């Protein structure tokens, strides 16, 4: 500072300005030479991202340095299994003829088919279990053949403890419930339970003769050890509910291993509270492949849990999510959110790259839930989530630091334009793509835009101030304010009618009429009915030209 003061006193203002300019240019050149080069353009990168970007996007931009060469990157997951949840919105089998080749191109090595009530169960005890639109045996064989032609392993998933609503909701099986009024979990002590479950598994295995693995579920068993039979059994054996759980899944796993000759897999969450000695003593570690699931952008898995699993289990699978994990009623899939989940998994597994534990990680399952349980409404239709699935699969192939490359290739594979991740807004609209079911994707995009407009109109000051339930009930409102909002509501009504027509045209390429009808009635019709109610209310209110004195 003293030097600057001295210069100011000795030099003219003009000379001092020249000096400052030269210093600024030199500093700028130094910074420019040190800034990183863009992997895409070879030019220096300047961060012009908006401060309003989501947290996931910020982490993505910060970490996406693309420093590794994709040619030298060795994928951490050799097996990449895509979960197809049939309990939500089962695709027509013909749709798989278009879907499977694209999955294979994107790097998938197999499919995990969660049948629930879409499997064609037979026999006296199971003949009422399949849904009325369940697949036929020939359809299941067709799906298996299509998967084989595209080199995709098929792993069927059948729940065997919790999430058995499709079975326990029926009158002929309600006596097997752990809690009489809760059809969620089966009683592991009832003498009919294991024989019935073994029938389910045998029938599924028979229609999947080339499958080497079967997933037995066993996640989120909300009710265990509640019934009298289970409590008596625990008292006699001095067992806890943990002992009861592990005894049941061990019996199922031994049946799958010994009688079916298949390798059982199961979800991990019920084991998270177990101690390592408990797991070691049970011998479960060699009986099943453990599938550890977490769907958050930041994995919520305790390090102690990982240490326990790695010490106990011979084979471990990761389970991420490409859809169906951000809300039971969610329809619009956030690509950014699910990409961050996959990046988190890649970071975690990379920590074990140079350790003996790496060989225990057998692959990853990309889950795509279609309902949160049997009774929930559908969420995130498969075609609407395909951009997320495509980017996630490619990211697993190229590595955590190649998000831009995965994004660009996904856009190309799906025949869209722009970016699925790095657009300024997640509301970016893709009017035309070229992947199986993209017409359904287009309908869901339109639904998202209409839903936003609906929320905006219902939050309008006129609706909240002059069109409330009170106004409608008392037929007391200002005609001055009703005209403009009536126009907006009429526009919305036309949009809902258009959505109905669009869904009836687009959905049949992927789904049967039942799924089309359910989607519209559960997600669109409630909004359309509300708008119709308000429009009718406006007509009544505007017919009034005299009003009573208060109080009304």
DSSP string, 23-83: HHHHHHHHHHHHSPBPTTTSSBP-----TTS-HHHHHHHHH----S-GGG---S-SEEEEE
In this structure, the dihedral spanned by the alpha carbons of residues 404, 391, 75 and 310, taken in order and rounded to 10 degrees, is 120
The residues near 422 (Cβ < 8 Å, ≥ 6 apart) are 57, 404, 407
Within 8 A by CB and 6+ apart from 198, the residues are: 255, 259
Asked if 214 and 204 count as a contact pair (C-beta separation under 8 A), the reply is yes
Q: Tell me what pLDDT residue 21 has.
A: 53
Angle at CA 292, nearest 5°, toward 190 and 219?
25
pLDDT at 16: 45
549 DSSP assignment: P
pLDDT at 429: 72
**Residues 6+ away with beta carbon under 8 Å from 44:** 32, 35, 36, 37, 38
Who's near 69: CB < 8 A, 6+ residues apart?
A: none
CB atoms within 10 A of CB 504: 14
Secondary-structure percent of the chain, ordered helix, strand, coil, rounded to 5: 55, 10, 35
How many residues comprise the chain? 552
Check: CB of residue 397 under 8 Å from CB of residue 410.
Answer: no
pLDDT of residue 73: 79
| Residue 317 to residue 290: CA distance in whole angstroms | 6
Measure the N-to-C terminal CA separation of the chain; round to a whole number of Å: 77
CA distance linking residue 375 with residue 117, whole number of Å? 12
**Which residues are known to be catalytic?**
220
Whole-angstrom distance, CA of residue 284 vs CA of residue 287? 5
Instruction: For residue 321, count other CB atoms closer than 10 A to its CB.
Output: 24
Distance CA 177, CA 183 (A): 6
What ranges in 214-275 are assigned the alpha helix state H?
228-237, 241-258
Asked if residues 177 and 168 have their Cβ atoms less than 8 Å apart, the reply is yes
CB-based contacts of 310, cutoff 8 Å, min separation 6 = 316, 357, 360
Residue reference for tokens 């595209």? 150
> Nearest 5 degrees, angle CA 301-CA 311-CA 300?
0
- List the chain pLDDT tens, one digit each, 552 residues: 444 434 444 444 445 444 445 545 454 444 444 433 333 333 333 232 223 334 444 555 544 445 455 567 788 999 999 999 999 899 999 999 999 999 999 999 999 999 999 999 999 999 999 999 999 999 999 999 999 999 999 999 999 999 999 999 999 999 999 999 999 999 999 999 999 999 999 999 999 999 999 999 999 999 999 999 999 999 999 999 999 999 999 999 999 999 999 999 999 999 999 999 999 999 999 999 999 999 999 998 888 898 999 999 999 999 999 999 999 999 999 999 999 999 999 999 999 999 999 999 999 999 999 999 999 999 999 999 999 999 999 999 999 999 999 999 999 999 998 899 987 555 567 778 999 999 999 999 999 999 999 999 999 999 999 999 999 999 999 999 998 899 999 999 999 999 999 999 999 999 999 999 999 999 999 999 999 999 999 999 999 999 999 999
């Amino acid at each position: 500072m003293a030097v600057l003061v001295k210069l100011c006193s000795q030099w003219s203002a003009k000379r001092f300005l020249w000096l400052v300019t030269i210093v600024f240019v030199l500093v700028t050149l130094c910074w420019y030479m040190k800034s990183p080069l863009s992997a895409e353009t070879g030019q220096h990168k300047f961060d012009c991202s908006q401060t309003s970007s989501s947290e996931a996007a910020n982490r993505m931009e910060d970490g996406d340095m693309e420093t590794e060469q994709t040619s030298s990157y060795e994928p951490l997951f050799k097996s990449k299994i895509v979960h197809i949840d049939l309990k939500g919105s089962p695709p027509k089998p013909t749709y798989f003829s278009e879907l499977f080749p694209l999955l294979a191109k994107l790097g998938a090595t197999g499919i995990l088919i969660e049948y629930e009530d879409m499997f064609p169960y037979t026999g006296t005890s199971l003949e009422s279990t399949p849904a009325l639109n369940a697949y036929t045996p020939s359809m299941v064989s067709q799906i298996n053949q299509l998967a084989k032609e595209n080199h995709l392993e098929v792993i069927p998933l059948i729940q065997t403890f919790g999430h058995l609503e499709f079975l326990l909701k029926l009158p002929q099986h309600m006596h097997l419930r752990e809690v009489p009024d809760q059809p969620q979990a089966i009683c592991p002590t009832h003498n009919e339970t294991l024989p019935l479950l073994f029938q389910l598994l045998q029938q599924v295995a028979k229609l999947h003769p080339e499958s080497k693995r079967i997933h037995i579920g066993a996640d989120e068993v909300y009710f265990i050890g509640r019934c009298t039979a289970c409590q008596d059994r625990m008292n006699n054996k001095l067992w806890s509910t943990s002992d009861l759980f592990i005894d049941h899944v061990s019996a199922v796993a031994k049946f799958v291993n010994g009688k079916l000759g298949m390798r059982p897999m199961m979800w991990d969450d019920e084991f998270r509270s177990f101690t390592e000695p408990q797991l070691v003593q049970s011998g479960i570690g060699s009986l099943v492949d453990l599938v550890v699931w977490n769907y958050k952008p930041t994995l919520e898995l305790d390090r102690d849990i990982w240490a326990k699993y790695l010490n106990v289990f011979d084979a471990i699978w990761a389970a991420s999510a490409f859809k169906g994990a951000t809300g039971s009623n969610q329809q619009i899939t956030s690509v950014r959110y699910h990409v961050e989940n996959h990046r988190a998994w890649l970071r975690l597994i990379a920590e074990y790259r140079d350790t003996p534990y790496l060989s225990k990680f057998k692959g990853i399952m990309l889950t795509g839930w279609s309902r949160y349980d049997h009774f929930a409404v559908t969420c995130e239709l498969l075609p609407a989530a395909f951009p997320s699935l495509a980017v996630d699969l490619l990211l697993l192939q190229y590595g955590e630091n190649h998000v831009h490359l995965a994004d660009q290739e996904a856009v190309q594979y799906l025949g869209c334009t722009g970016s699925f991740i790095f657009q300024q807004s997640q509301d970016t609209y893709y009017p035309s793509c070229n992947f199986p079911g993209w017409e359904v994707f287009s309908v869901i995009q339109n639904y998202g835009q209409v839903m936003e407009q609906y929320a905006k109109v219902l939050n309008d000051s006129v609706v909240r101030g002059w069109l409330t339930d009170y106004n409608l009930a008392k037929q007391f409102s200002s005609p001055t304010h009703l005209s403009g909002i009536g126009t907006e509501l009429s526009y919305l009504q036309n949009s809902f009618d258009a959505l109905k027509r669009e869904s009836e045209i687009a959905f049949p390429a992927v789904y049967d009429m039942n799924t089309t009808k359910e989607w519209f009635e559960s997600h669109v019709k409630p909004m359309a009915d509300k708008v119709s109610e308000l429009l009718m209310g406006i007509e009544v209110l505007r017919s009034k030209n005299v009003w009573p004195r208060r109080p009304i």
